[in-house]
Homo-oligomer: A and B are copies of this chain.
């Protein structure tokens, strides 16, 4: 029997955002591998082994998925959001490096957090934008600051993933400083926490009123471009520039 690896995105939390493609892959799987809270979203059934692991072991998880698939298992690797956006897909391909035999690997897209957050607020990503992972686990913080500075110069709207965690309490404050050096104090900034879950909370403030502790590891942050504005209760970026 031929095994495979399917790397899927479960969306940001609401099961109404899981695609049929992903459900079909889960229905065929013999094994599900992923971070504990994502594996917890998968219903147990006979013939399905759930392998839940802790955070920060992405490469071990990816290696396990490849090994199981080469042994004939049908392995679904679950991510939150979209697996290709700051999630498990890259880790799985990194684990392929140096191997002479690879199983079949498919990636199935999902709704990534910034798009669900943007939809809940209006359309703040309706013009050109960028997505930046603020975690400096895998890159120097100076690179993150440089990217934010250049993104502001390009007048991109920006979505920040992993803006702040217990182990990195100060980085987001530095990013706010970079933004304040480049953008007007009226620039809109959105803090979207637990997007699409029952306790979703979206707060929009002017950059001048933004504070470090408005973000945590369950928050995605969206910074508008220079034209992003409010209309009624909504926030959007006009299609026309300038």
Contacts and interface: CB of A to CB of B under 8 A. Distances in A.
Interface of A: 11, 14-21, 24, 58, 82-86, 89-94, 96-97, 102, 105, 107-112, 115-116, 118-120, 122-133, 138-140, 143, 146-147, 150-151, 153-156, 231-232, 234, 236-242
B107 A119 contact: yes
A90 B151 contact: no
A93 B230 CA distance: 9
A206 B62 CA distance: 28
Choose among A93, A118, A236 the residue with the greatest number of B CB atoms under 10 Å from its CB: A93
A130 B108 contact: no
Contacts of A89: 119, 122-123, 126, 236
30 contacts: A16-B19, A16-B20, A16-B24, A18-B20, A19-B19, A82-B115, A84-B126, A85-B125, A86-B239, A89-B119, A93-B122, A93-B126, A93-B234, A96-B231, A96-B234, A102-B232, A107-B119, A107-B120, A108-B119, A109-B115, A109-B118, A127-B133, A128-B147, A130-B131, A130-B154, A138-B239, A138-B240, A143-B242, A147-B154, A150-B150
Nearest to A132: B128
A118 to B, nearest CB: 5
A87 to B, nearest CB: 8
A107 B84 contact: no
Contacts of A132: 128
Chain A binding surface SS class: mixed
B154 A118 contact: no
B115 A238 contact: no
Given A118-B84, A133-B128, A111 B241 contact: no
A95 to B, nearest CB: 9
A84 B102 CA distance: 37
A187 to B, nearest CB: 18
